[in-house]
Structure 1
Amino acid sequence: MSIPDDVRERVRSPASTPGETSPAEHSREEHSQRINQLRAGVLGANDGIVSVAGMVIGVAAATPTLSAIAVAGTAALTAGALSMAMGEFVSVSTQKDTETAMLQRTRRDLAERPEKALEDLTVALEETGVPRDLARQAAERMTAHDGLDAHARVRLGMDEDTIASPMHAAIASLVAFTIGGLLPLLAALLVPGGWRILATMLAVVVGLALTGLISARLGQAAAGRATVRTIIGGLLAMGVTYAIGSLLGVAGV
């Protein structure tokens, strides 16, 4: 019985030696990494816009003093960027440790219990709808080519060559949050008092519209709905902080 085209494509060995990545696979991996990094950057920028804008507008509602707004906005920008970077570093480190441990266990099974590993891979292929006999053939060929990579992709749903870097994720989040947060902060500092809050809100709307549009494009979703949802969320956050700032300002706290 011959192997169907969809299975054959998954087990076909490239001209390179086992363990090497074909040019097409390498290109897909790089594209996937870039998309994930860009998506994380968009989310970080969105957080920076909303967080810093909320702080700036809240303080501006309580007091018109430019120095207070500058101190509060800078503190929010610095603390938020560092917190975002540290959170991303810890999160991705945990993910990386988990994925590395899973790969190590799989590598050990391939070395110490090859028959069980082969059966596990066969069962995993069967669960995708491949008949038992073809799944066995495919599992044998995939194991002969690169067993660890086959188990990682089919059974674990991961790619051993694209495990995320905690440091890269942290730096990307730090930069994205800072860029996003600078937008409302500069608007609040550069525009005269009477127009400060309005200018900050306008800067936030523009920034959130861009992040919403980019996020929708990356997720191949409807751009209008995602953008409007993002803007409404940001405006609600600013409205709450403005109300709190106004109450504190009237109370003289």
Structure 2
Amino acid sequence: MSDAPRPPAPDTPTVPPSHLGTRLNWLRAAVLGANDGITSTAGLVVGVAGATTSRLAILSAGIAGLLAGSLSMAAGEYVSVSSQRDSERAALAKEQRELADDPEAELIELTGLLSDRGLSAAVAREAAEQLTQRDALRAHARVELGIEPDALANPWHAALASFASFTVGAILPLLAIVLPQASLRVPVTFVSVLCALAVCGWLSARLGAAPPLRAVLRNATGGALAMGVTYAAGSLLGAVAA
């Protein structure tokens, strides 16, 4: 048998981030959305609790904060992902035109890109020819643009995911502040929120393959600071109003 290097399988040099990686990105975004819901709603309701003991006032403020935050995140995510998808579609259309106008130049370009990834010139050329024969646009989209043509981001999915994750996170401090008796509301909320933020920090660190302890401490410290500042501000306003 010949010892000459064999061309890799046509898809080998062009594999984009895997579907598993995409799912992990979505999961990480969901964790961060829940984290935002916990922190912002906790700061809001604890601040109101510092100013008044009225369960209705605290609940009203918490629900308003939950809706405002979740809708804001959903709208922002929709706009952001829509812009990203528009850019990806424009890049794919431009690449399609270039392939139609000068396919040989595009083949040379693809060969160079594959060669830059460590393939020899001969192997890169062979792989580029096979990929071009199979699906030229997909090959250039993956290698040159880093885009998976069949998996463009869906802005509605992103918006709904952000809305849901923020809402789920916001429910915890809202329940923690309105269910206990007045004297226990703030302590119960502080403990519940810090535990939830520690879990979110641990999950985000694990998903990002980062050391969890630092993320947990950073998350919990930020949440404690937010609640402490808003509670102090609410208490001061409540004292002035009284």
> TM-score normalized by structure 2?
0.91
Is this contact kept in 2: 1:62–1:248, CA < 8 A? yes
Q: Which runs of 4+ in 1 moved over 6 A?
A: none
Taking structure 1 as reference, are residues 30 and 135 closer, same or farther at Cα in structure 2, changes over 3 Å only? closer
Alignment equivalent of 2:41, drawn from 52, 58, 73: 52
Give the secondary structure class of the aligned counterpart of 1:221: coil
Identity of aligned residues (%): 49
What are the Cα deviations for residues 46-74 of structure 1, in whole angstroms up to 9, with x where unaligned? Answer: 00000100100111111122111111111
Alignment equivalent of 1:163, drawn from 132, 152, 156: 152
> Is 1:223 aligned to 2:212, yes or no?
yes
1:37 shift after superposition: 1.8
1:133 shift after superposition: 3.3
Structure 2 alignment gaps of length 5 or more: none
> Is 1:172 aligned to 2:161, yes or no?
yes
| AA at the equivalent of 2:237 | L
Tell me how far apart the structure 2 counterparts of residues 3 and 94 of structure 1 sit (CA, whole Å).
Answer: 43
Is this contact kept in 2: 1:56–1:188, CA < 8 A? yes
The residue aligned with 1:213 is 202
The residue aligned with 1:96 is 85
Alignment equivalent of 1:41, drawn from 20, 30, 46: 30
| AA at the equivalent of 1:42 | V
Tell me how far apart the structure 2 counterparts of residues 215 and 248 of structure 1 sit (CA, whole Å).
Answer: 36
Tell me how far apart the structure 1 counterparts of residues 196 and 9 of structure 2 sit (CA, whole Å).
Answer: 43
- Give the aligned length: 239
Tell me how far apart the structure 2 counterparts of residues 137 and 30 of structure 1 sit (CA, whole Å).
Answer: 27
Alignment equivalent of 2:188, drawn from 170, 175, 199: 199
| AA at the equivalent of 1:190 | L
Tell me how far apart the structure 2 counterparts of residues 3 and 240 of structure 1 sit (CA, whole Å).
Answer: 65
> Is 1:80 aligned to 2:69, yes or no?
yes
1:2 shift after superposition: 4.2
The residue aligned with 1:107 is 96
Alignment equivalent of 1:237, drawn from 214, 219, 226: 226
Taking structure 1 as reference, are residues 88 and 241 closer, same or farther at Cα in structure 2, changes over 3 Å only? same
Is this contact kept in 2: 1:33–1:162, CA < 8 A? no
1:205 shift after superposition: 1.0
The residue aligned with 2:8 is 8
Is this contact kept in 1: 2:73–2:162, CA < 8 A? yes
Taking structure 1 as reference, are residues 2 and 101 closer, same or farther at Cα in structure 2, changes over 3 Å only? farther
Give the secondary structure class of the aligned counterpart of 1:9: coil
Give the secondary structure class of the aligned counterpart of 1:79: helix
Is this contact kept in 1: 2:10–2:130, CA < 8 A? no
Alignment equivalent of 1:120, drawn from 98, 109, 119: 109
Is this contact kept in 1: 2:45–2:177, CA < 8 A? yes
Structure 1 alignment gaps of length 5 or more: 13-24
Further displaced range: 161-170 or 180-189: 161-170
**Over the residues paired in the alignment, what is the CA RMSD in angstroms?**
2.2
The residue aligned with 1:20 is none
1:184 shift after superposition: 0.2
What are the Cα deviations for residues 21-51 of structure 1, in whole angstroms up to 9, with x where unaligned? Answer: xxxx89x844233222211111110000001
Is this contact kept in 1: 2:202–2:212, CA < 8 A? yes
Tell me how far apart the structure 2 counterparts of residues 112 and 3 of structure 1 sit (CA, whole Å).
Answer: 33
What are the Cα deviations for residues 210-242 of structure 1, in whole angstroms up to 9, with x where unaligned? Answer: 211221221122222222211111111112212
> TM-score normalized by structure 1?
0.87
Tell me how far apart the structure 2 counterparts of residues 250 and 44 of structure 1 sit (CA, whole Å).
Answer: 34
